Amino acid sequence: MRDGRWVRTIVAGIVIGNLIVLAKFFMVPRMQFFPAHTGLTRQLTETPGPQDMPNQLGKTYAVANRIQELTPIEATVFVPPGDRLDGSFRSAVTQVLYPRKIIFGENENFKGELKKGFKNEAAYFVYSPEWQPDFCEEPSRVELTNFGFGMCRLAR
């Protein structure tokens, strides 16, 4: 009889210990994150995220959300190269900017599409600090973020 109580006590201790670990490392960060960010819709994608699962694409979403604000739905948007192998940059931009036509800098026919874009009324070029920062001329340049991304309408 004593052996049975000892086993139950050990099992109960393990179960309670696991519940404490789950609460501390998984529930508490989310319980702190959600109330602090209630009422946010689009801005939620730009937040740093909870401690245990940080948002690695916050800056990408900030750029894409700003492009979405400034461009019409039927626009063609030329954006910096996305990592084809990783896909994260591409998927975030595509998710936010759909149904706009998005052309990434590493696409095979980028230069041909860019020439067509100059004929399009609603074509925009997005530059980054590392990619074509001098493409847009000063009067038509719009800064998208405070970390170096900008955009301009393609001139005819």
Query: What is the average per-residue pLDDT within 18-39?
Result: 75
Query: Both tokens of residue 82?
Result: 């996305």
| Cα gap 128→62, rounded to integer Å | 13
Whether the model pTM is above 0.85: no
Query: What is the average per-residue pLDDT within 59-74?
Result: 88
pLDDT single digits (tens) 29-43: 777 666 665 665 555
Q: Which of 55-59, 95-99, 130-134, 140-144 has the lowest mean pLDDT?
A: 55-59
Say if CB 124 and CB 36 are below 8 A apart: no
pLDDT for residue 62: 85
In angstroms and rounded to an integer, the radius of gyration of the C-alpha atoms of the chain is 24
Residue type at 10 in one-letter notation: I
| Cα gap 116→147, rounded to integer Å | 29
pLDDT for residue 37: 58
pLDDT averaged over every residue in the chain = 80
pLDDT for residue 73: 92
Distance set, CA 119 to CA 21, 27, 88, 114, 131 (Å): 60, 53, 30, 9, 23
Query: What is the average per-residue pLDDT within 73-82?
Result: 88
